């Protein structure tokens, strides 16, 4: 149905090695982002990490990679993406603005079929995998217009790529819940059929707090995490985040709630942002920023001069106050974001540029926001490089986290449960 999702041949570097070792695969002379300045060897057997020793002390396995100090991490983690409406740029007028984008997709998704969604979602998943993403939460819309067709189509694509990436569906009401009869029943049906989390978009509802209440009820009923689109706009005088924190406290859902976009926070004073950050940290509410979308959609009404406000919340400042923060892609090639190659390294670099980050430790922190912090947001229990963990690994062409972000470092190799997923040949210069 789609472009081939599985590799067609064994990479050359995996051929003609020795047999009979205690390990299927070994990585030699690697760097871990969490252990800068140290070098390690890593052993894999039966799809899991079984050994981790100082560089130069581990015997080669059946297959071996010698990496000269390059970074290895457990893959990038995409916390917020929309597979169901990706890759529709060729169908759009691109009028610009949040409300215009919502309206345009409403007009298009009536014609979505399961096969159409599955094809586009698989196309996007393929890009994500090739850019080193191993874990994902995708938001999927349900409503009377699209029904469950988007949900079912995305499920097909997830099944097709299950060998390469783990994907959770967050079902949500993009076009309203309480003001959109039939949506509630569809969300419940999706949760009964395997959706792993529940989302919200209160700013599209006639009763924003009522939508938040109902989403918390669904989360409790199905014992799932919550991931909301929240406070998406420019006027910071009116926020829904305070109510979300209250509900997280009331339900005991700390550590299981995330809010995305929150572009209104970008227009706060430093003092107010600090106070809000401490409240979020106390309530256990995580924050996701979507740099490409937030830049593209925000402040389109700013016509006084050519100096357009950024509209991207400075989450590195919030992280310093104890908030768990992630960076993610959001939309790919659609009216919300007419860009995207699904590279989370690129998102980390873009955010560092927007936030004017230059200190090494802060830039390295941007890598955490597409990996370890993102894994924490998704409550992934087995993410990490340690004995017994799944050998879901990505090799990056950089020798420390700072330079990975600064140089948009290329993912070189990817593995899922110890099996090769992709190989990117590095560019070569040819002298004359």
Q: Phi and psi of 153, rounded to 5°? A: -60, -45
- Residue 343: its pLDDT value, please? 98
Specify the domain boundaries for CATH 3.20.20.140 within the chain: 76-377
Average the pLDDT over 230-257 and give the result.
96
pTM value?
0.94
Task: Compute the average pLDDT of residues 234-243.
Answer: 94
Please report the pLDDT score of residue 102 as a whole number.
84
The pLDDT, as a whole number, for residue 305 is 66
Instruction: Give the pLDDT mean for 49-65.
Output: 96
Residue 313: the pLDDT is 97
Residue extent(s) of CATH 2.30.40.10 domains in the chain = 12-74+384-423
Say which range, 29-43, 249-263, 302-316, 348-362, has the weakest mean pLDDT.
302-316
Query: With 80 as the cut, is the pLDDT of residue 270 above it?
Result: yes
CA 248 to chain centroid, in Å, comes to 22
Please give the CATH topology (third level) of the domain spanning 76-377: TIM Barrel (3.20.20)
Using a 10 angstrom Cβ sphere, with 0-12 exposed, 13-18 middle and 19 or more buried, the burial of residue 149 is buried
166: Cα within 13 Å, side-chain hemisphere: 17
Question: Could you tell me which residue, 299 or 203, shows the higher pLDDT?
Answer: 203
Report helix, strand or coil for 89: helix
Radius of gyration of the chain (CA): 22
Q: What is the mean pLDDT of residues 357-371?
A: 97
Task: Please provide residue 228's backbone torsions phi and psi, each rounded to the nearest 5 degrees.
Answer: -105, 145
What pLDDT score was predicted for residue 10? 56
C-alpha separations of 264 from 55, 132, 173 in Å: 47, 31, 21
With b for 16 or more beta-carbon neighbours within 10 A and e for fewer, the 236-255 pattern comes to beebbbeebbebbeeeebeb
Contact, 358 vs 402, CB < 8 A?
no
- Mean pLDDT value of segment 396-414: 97
* pLDDT reading at 7 higher than 70: no
pLDDT at 1: 44
Burial class (CB in 10 A: 0-12, 13-18, 19+), 4: exposed
Picking from 3-17, 58-72, 106-120, which range would have the lowest pLDDT averaged per residue? Answer: 3-17
Give the Å distances, CA to CA, from 229 to 139, 204, 226, 326: 10, 10, 10, 14
DSSP labels, 264-321: GGGGS-HHHHHHHHHHHHHHTEEEEE-HHHHHHHTTTT--SSS--------HHHHHTT
- Predicted confidence (pLDDT) per residue in 138-183, tens digit: 999 999 999 999 999 999 999 999 999 999 999 999 999 999 999 9
Find the mean pLDDT for residues 348-354: 97
Residues 83-121 have pLDDT tens digits of: 999 999 999 887 777 888 888 888 899 999 999 999 999
The per-residue pLDDT for range 368-394, each reduced to its tens digit, is 999 999 999 999 999 999 999 999 999
* Mean pLDDT for the stretch of residues 352-365: 96
Lowest mean pLDDT among 41-50, 226-235, 262-271, 292-301: 292-301
Residue 200: the pLDDT is 98
Which is the CATH superfamily of the domain at 12-74+384-423?
Urease, subunit C, domain 1 (2.30.40.10)
| 3-state secondary structure (DSSP) of residue 40 | strand
């Amino acid at each position: 149905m789609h472009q081939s999702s599985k590799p067609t041949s064994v990479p050359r570097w995996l051929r003609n090695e020795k047999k009979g070792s205690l390990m299927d695969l070994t990585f030699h002379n690697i760097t871990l982002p969490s252990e800068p300045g140290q070098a390690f060897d890593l052993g894999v057997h039966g799809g899991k990490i079984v050994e981790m020793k100082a560089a130069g002390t581990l015997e080669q396995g059946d297959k071996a990679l010698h990496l000269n100090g390059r970074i290895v991490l457990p893959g990038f983690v995409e916390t917020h993406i929309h597979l169901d409406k990706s890759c529709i740029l060729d169908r759009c007028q691109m009028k610009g603005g949040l409300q215009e984008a919502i309206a345009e997709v409403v007009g298009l998704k009536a014609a979505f079929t399961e096969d159409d969604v599955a094809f586009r979602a698989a196309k996007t998943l393929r890009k994500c995998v090739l850019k080193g993403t191993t874990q994902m939460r995708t938001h999927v819309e349900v409503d009377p217009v699209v029904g469950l067709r988007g949900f079912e189509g995305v499920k097909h694509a997830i099944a097709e790529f299950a060998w390469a990436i783990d994907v959770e569906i967050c079902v949500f009401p993009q076009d309203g819940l309480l003001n959109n009869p039939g949506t509630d029943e569809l969300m419940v049906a999706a949760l009964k059929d395997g959706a792993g989390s529940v989302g919200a978009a209160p700013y599209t509802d006639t009763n924003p707090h009522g939508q938040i209440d109902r989403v918390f009820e669904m989360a409790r009923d199905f014992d799932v995490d919550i991931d909301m689109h929240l406070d998406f706009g420019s006027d910071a005088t009116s926020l829904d985040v305070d109510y979300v924190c209250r509900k997280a406290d009331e339900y005991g859902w700390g550590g299981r709630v995330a809010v995305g976009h929150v572009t209104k926070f970008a227009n706060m004073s430093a003092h107010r942002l600090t106070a809000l950050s401490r409240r979020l940290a106390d309530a256990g509410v995580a924050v996701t920023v979507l740099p490409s979308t937030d830049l593209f959609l925000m402040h389109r009404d700013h016509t006084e001069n050519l100096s357009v406000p950024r509209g991207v919340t400075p989450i590195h400042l919030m992280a310093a106050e104890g908030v768990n923060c992630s960076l993610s892609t959001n939309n790919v090639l659609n009216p919300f974001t007419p860009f995207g190659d699904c590279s989370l390294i690129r998102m980390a670099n873009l955010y560092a540029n927007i936030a004017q980050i230059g200190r090494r430790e802060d830039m390295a922190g941007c890598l955490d926001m597409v990996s370890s912090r993102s894994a924490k947001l998704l409550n992934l229990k087995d993410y990490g490089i340690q004995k017994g963990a799944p050998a879901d690994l990505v090799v990056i062409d950089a020798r420390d986290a700072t330079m990975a972000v600064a140089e948009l470092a290329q993912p070189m190799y990817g593995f899922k449960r110890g099996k090769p997923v992709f190989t990117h040949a590095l560019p070569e210069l040819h002298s004359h």
